[in-house]
Amino acid sequence: MTTARLADVEFVVRSIARTCLANEKEFGELDAVVGDGDFGYSLARGFEIVDSGWDSFDRTDIGTFLQKIAVTITSRIGGTSGPIWGTAFLRAAAQVKGQTTLSGDDVVRMLRAAIEGIKQRGASDVGDKTLLDALVPTTDAIEAAIAAGAPAAGAPAADVLARAAAVAREAADATTTMQARRGRAAYTGERSIGSPDAGAVAVAVITERLAAEWATRAPAPA
């Protein structure tokens, strides 16, 4: 994967924020099937603050920028989503502290750190019917796509994201047949079978939008 710069990271974060705002109703309805239905609302309110305060975030380096995003998310998103998503951003930020560019390996390292943070914060793992059931295979796909790229330049980011989006959607759909083992949905037992996990679907929708937008975006400034 070609080297990413702060402008690329900004693009990704803002795309995530706007995807969560645009899909507030859908995510909430999915969560309401077996949960309390606040997932879409909570994400939207947190990322609404991120979007509205966009120009105020410290952009000294990529790690600092992501750390500020993490603090905003943690303090503004209610319920369990704030700590989980905030931890994900914070762990990713810690991996690239002081850096102004990212390699493909850096991106994978950030995602792996985010995953471990989510596991610890939510006391969950793959198979529990959470966003991890989409995020982990999506990260695996990104790592594999990067590894398969040309040794010198790496795999083009658009190609990596396209593959990741396909895997994320497949993984999110696969949660439909799973029984929830964490969160409020776990209390519904077998009734949680038959609908996809809202967090996993969010990962898929976010990745699909990123893939679509990245393919048509203007090149980031040097």
How many percent of the chain have pLDDT more than 70?
90
Structural domain contains residue 221: no
Domain with 205 in it: 4-216
Burial class (CB in 10 A: 0-12, 13-18, 19+), 190: exposed
Note the pLDDT tens digit of each residue in 117-149.
Answer: 999 998 999 999 999 999 999 999 999 999 887
Cβ neighbourhood burial of 58 (10 Å; 0-12, 13-18, 19+) = exposed
Where is average pLDDT lowest: 87-91, 128-132, 154-158? 154-158
Does residue 55 form part of some domain? yes
Tally of domains in the chain? 1
Tell me: pLDDT of 216 over 80: yes
Whether 222 maps to a domain, the answer reads no
Rounded Cα gap, residues 27 and 8, in angstroms: 26
Q: What is the amino acid identity at position 186?
A: A
The secondary structure element, H or E, covering residue 191 is: none
Instruction: With respect to residue 191, please indicate whether it lies within any of the assigned structural domains.
Output: yes
Kindly state whether residue 153 falls inside one of the protein's structural domains.
Answer: yes
User: For 78-106, what is the mean pLDDT?
Assistant: 93
Average of per-residue pLDDT values in the chain: 90
155 falls within a domain? yes
What is the per-residue pLDDT across 11-56, written as a single tens digit (0 to 9) for each? Answer: 999 999 999 999 999 999 999 987 778 899 999 999 999 999 999 9
The answer to whether residue 125 sits within a structural domain is yes
Instruction: Give yes or no for a contact between 196 and 30, defined as CB atoms under 8 angstroms apart.
Output: yes
Look at residue 112 and tell me if it is in a domain: yes
Structural tokens at position 17: 């924020």
Q: What length does the chain have?
A: 222
Q: What is the mean pLDDT of residues 169-185?
A: 87
User: What is the predicted pLDDT for the residue at 150?
Assistant: 47
The CATH number of the domain holding residue 128 is 1.25.40.340
- Has residue 187 got a pLDDT over 80? no
